[in-house]
Homo-oligomer: A and B are copies of this chain.
Amino acid sequence: MVLPFDDTYFMRKALQEAEAAFEKGEVPIGAIVVVKDRIIARAHNLTEQLHDVTAHAEMQAITAAANFLGGKYLHECTLYVTLEPCQMCAGALYWSQISKIVYAAKDPQRGYGALGTKLHPKTKVLGGILEDEASDLLRKFFVQKRNLN
């Protein structure tokens, strides 16, 4: 039996957001927030366009999801994001008490795992869903950027 809504399904939606970032010349990272199989927030990285280091996909998705829910805690929510969150985003996810984080590609340099950022004890984490697709898009972006400079 194939479930219509699984982690791969939702990660594809996050990847669509990453592609939207790519089209705008932003580092292609996308995120969505899901509650009970319903997408309540979609966002992509906008740090260049907004001249704002805080405009990571995850940060915007957290704010949008809380706005939708009318409360600051993201209990029963899952964040899908195409790259492992950084210190800032993991720190925000800590405060949100989110139930689950699913990421695609690992970030061995600046990911929260390597840097030891603390998540909330309630938060479960799963990595590697559509990792190759997310990594390929990031690689394509940086190759293109290098060739332009």
Contacts and interface: CB of A to CB of B under 8 A. Distances in A.
Interface string A23-44: 0000000000000000000000
Contacts of A96: 53
Interface stretch (A14-22, A87-95, A128-136, A140-148): A87-95
Contacts of A47: 72, 95
Interface of A: 47-48, 51-54, 59, 62-63, 66-67, 69-73, 86-92, 94-96, 115-118
A69 B50 CA distance: 12
A91 B95 contact: no
B54 A59 contact: yes
Contact of A91 (B51, B67, B90): B90
Which of A48, A59, A63, A92 has the most chain B CB within a 10 Å cutoff? Answer: A92
Nearest to A60: B54
4 A-B pairs with the lowest CB-CB distances in the bound complex, closest first: A88-B91, A87-B91, A53-B95, A51-B72
